Amino acid sequence: MYEAGAIDGIRNRWQELRYITLPSMSNMLLFSAVMQIQSSFSVSAIAVTLAGYPSKSNAVDTIVSLMQDMATVRYELGYASAIAVVLFIMMVTTRLIVGKVLSTVQK
């Protein structure tokens, strides 16, 4: 691909990166971005392991641990469901933004 690009007029490394390398890697970049977004929501397990549960004054609560607390300890299922819907909307929005950015790379 790089040889064909050189024949077509790509003259430096930046053009190779923009027109050949990034479009070739866009599917892998999208998958990696989605997996990192998903794993960022599981960071509450690390905080709970380090500080214990419940922590003093809820100092290490994250949105995910708050949702879990509302659903399993306090049985406020409507509030926990609302938090889950907001998290879902955040994840979908972030995924769409990443997809839009990566689609501009493919052009």
What mean pLDDT is reported for the chain?
A: 84
- In angstroms, the CA 68 to CA 76 distance is 10
Given a contact cutoff of 8 angstroms between Cβ atoms, the answer to whether 58 and 67 are in contact is: no
Query: Which residues, including other chains, have CB under 8 Å from residue 80's CB and lie 6 or more apart?
Result: 67, 68, 70, 71
Helix (H, G, I), strand (E, B) or coil at 55: coil
pLDDT band at 94 (very low <50, low <70, confident <90, very high): confident
Residue 43, both tokens: 């960071």
Q: Identify which of 52-56, 80-84, 98-102 has the greatest average pLDDT.
A: 80-84
Q: What is the pLDDT of residues 13-30, one digit of tens each?
A: 888 888 888 888 888 888
- Of the candidates 49, 82, 51, which has an alpha carbon nearest to the alpha carbon of residue 66? 82
Instruction: Evaluate if residue 53 carries a pLDDT over 80.
Output: no
* pLDDT at residue 86 is higher than 90: yes
